[in-house]
Amino acid sequence: MKVGILSFQGSFFDHSKSIETIGYSPVFIKHDTNIQDLDALILPGGESTAMNKINNYQNIFNDLDILIKSGIPTLSTCAGTILLANQVVGGNITIPNIDIQITRNAYGRQTESFEGSVSFFDNEDIYCFIRAPKITQLLSDDVKVIAKHDSDIVGVQQKNIVALTFHPELNNDRYYLDWLHNFIKEGKNVRTF
């Protein structure tokens, strides 16, 4: 199975290692020619403002929007979740596909990055929050909370999209890798797990 990873900048290489570990093929998306025949999509962490600037030259966000709306399993982490949010506090709406309000740099700047305990579905583990955004409001009953750090919502699912504000690809723990394998394997129009 081919998993496209937006590769403008950020943690795309770490996501590719996760994809290879579970036996799938990563495809680095840098141009619109890289999005044909994908089975799943990942929008990685990084810097959402930089990704938007790079897209001004590459102009592939419209194609990614069509791909996401087609029902392809889509995972976003950190800045990737900012790109998909319908409301962005402190930033621009980019590829609105998930009914959340997100606040950029909600935990602070780079020096306030941290590792914290996250309840992700029925698993508890330590994950990295790097200049992380925060999901500050759910805008639809269609959005299901799937991950929490203390009382903060740090992961949601809506239809074929799973949006996280932390970086599971840096841990690659067994639970996350098994979940990722099954999420991608469910295929087009995945709704529940």
Flag whether pLDDT at 133 surpasses 70: yes
Question: Which residues, other chains included, contact 57 with Cβ-Cβ below 8 Å and sequence gap of 6+?
Answer: none
Residue range 83-106, pLDDT digits in tens: 999 999 988 899 999 999 999 877
Structure confidence at residue 193 (pLDDT): 41
Query: Taking the complete model, does pTM exceed 0.75, yes or no?
Result: yes
Which residue in 115, 124, 167, 181 is the catalytic one? Answer: 167
The residue annotated as part of the active site, out of 15, 78, 128, 149, is 78
| Annotated catalytic residue 167 | yes
- pLDDT of 134 reads 92
Q: What is the pLDDT of residue 187?
A: 61
| 186 classed as catalytic | no
190 confidence band (pLDDT: 50, 70, 90): low
- 20 included as an active-site residue: no
Six-digit token string for 125:
């583990």
Contact of 110 with 97, CB cutoff 8 Å: no
The hierarchical CATH code for the domain 2-185 is 3.40.50.880
Report whether pLDDT(111) > 80: no
